[in-house]
Amino acid sequence: MVKRKRARVAAVDFEAVDQYGRVAQKHESTELKSIPLEIIRPDPDQPRRILPEDLAQQLRHGQLAPPDALHKWQRRLQQAGASPEEKREMGELAQLAHSISLNGLISPITVRRVHEQDAAPPGVAYYIVTGERRYWAHWLLKMDGRE
């Protein structure tokens, strides 16, 4: 009978692990606070994106503001030839926005400060770590006057 190796779980302090490759400092704050949407952007290094790639690129380079990117995307979806996947994604964002307007935000968006080497557009102070869909849902609410 062959003896199977057992997987071992290492003791890792996951709070000290930074997914961007830097070790988190113990003095960093994890407090909840309100930050204006205008100074937050999706992290360009995140592989999963909500916006179509061309709009994400324009947003990243400061050529589009978030509401303009959403307007362009919405107009694109009204034209013939829009993919069912893009229509579904926008529908899900609208549903999430509606849920947030009724129930509030249950899981906050987490952000990190923009570093000098990030080359963020002017005025952007934070990049999203988790919660890009919630971020875009808040923009839908704001554009609709419901935030």
Reply yes or no on whether the pLDDT at 9 is more than 80.
Answer: no
The distance of Cα 98 from the centroid of its chain, to the nearest Å, equals 18
- The answer regarding whether domain 37-143 maps to CATH 3.30.930.10 reads no
Alpha-carbon distance of 27 to 30, in angstroms, equals: 9
Please state at what angle helix 66-78 crosses helix 53-60, rounded to 10 degrees: 160
Could you tell me if 119 and 90 are in contact, meaning their C-beta atoms sit under 8 angstroms apart? no
The distance of Cα 125 from the centroid of its chain, to the nearest Å, equals 14
pLDDT tens digit sequence for 89-109: 999 999 999 999 999 988 899
pLDDT tens digit sequence for 20-64: 555 445 445 567 888 999 999 999 888 888 899 999 999 999 999
Instruction: Give residue 90's identity as a one-letter amino acid code.
Output: M
Reply yes or no on whether the pLDDT at 79 is more than 80.
Answer: yes
By DSSP bridging, strand 40-42 and strand 110-113 are unpaired
Reply yes or no on whether the pLDDT at 133 is more than 80.
Answer: yes
